[in-house]
Amino acid sequence: MPARPHSWRLRLGRYSQTDQVYLITAVTHQRQPFFADWRAGRLLVHQLRKAQNAGWADSLAWVVMPDHFHWLMQLKDRELSSVMHRIKCQTANKVNGYLRRSGQFWHRGFHDRAIRDEGDRLPAARYIIANPLRAGLVTRVQDYPLWDCIWLDRREY
């Protein structure tokens, strides 16, 4: 998939607000399926958990797909761009090392959408964790190894 010529505009007007819930999407460079190996995906999950443990964001839901991830998070003590920069840099270093590769790992930038209505959080989480179903990777969400959600029990799916 060619790079979108104006994707840099996603950063214009980005505003970080403490305690705001955001739906984040980040895509690998040229949609390469680096996370098709679930162990590589766990390296990204580890970075999401580090961000939470550091008090930068609270993870509400996430899914790691072969070539991208979605993260529903509540921003805490950092700028959104700073949190994403750290997660993407650390993940690129770890996964590149694990896969014994070098070069660009992530597509430049990321997409974010503020979730302002509290009633939209659970539907957003359900959308996130249903990604493997929509992509045809599994027939039951609980069979997919790279997702979590604070509201949903894995046995429900």
Express each pLDDT in 33-62 by its tens digit. Answer: 999 999 999 999 999 999 999 999 999 999
Q: How confident is the model at residue 94 (pLDDT cuts 50, 70, 90)?
A: very high
Residue 14 has a pLDDT of 67
Residue 79 is part of which domain span? 7-144
Question: For residue 151, is it within any domain?
Answer: no
In a domain, residue 45? The reply is yes
Whether 152 is covered by a domain: the verdict is no
Q: Does 50 reside within a domain?
A: yes
| Beta carbons of 141 and 124 less than 8 angstroms apart | no
Residue 149 in domain: no
Tokens for 116, please give them: 């302002």
pLDDT grade for 5, boundaries at 50, 70 and 90: low
Q: How confident is the model at residue 16 (pLDDT cuts 50, 70, 90)?
A: confident
How many structural domains comprise the chain? 1
CA–CA dist 30, 39 (Å, integer): 20
CATH of the domain at 77: 3.30.70.1290
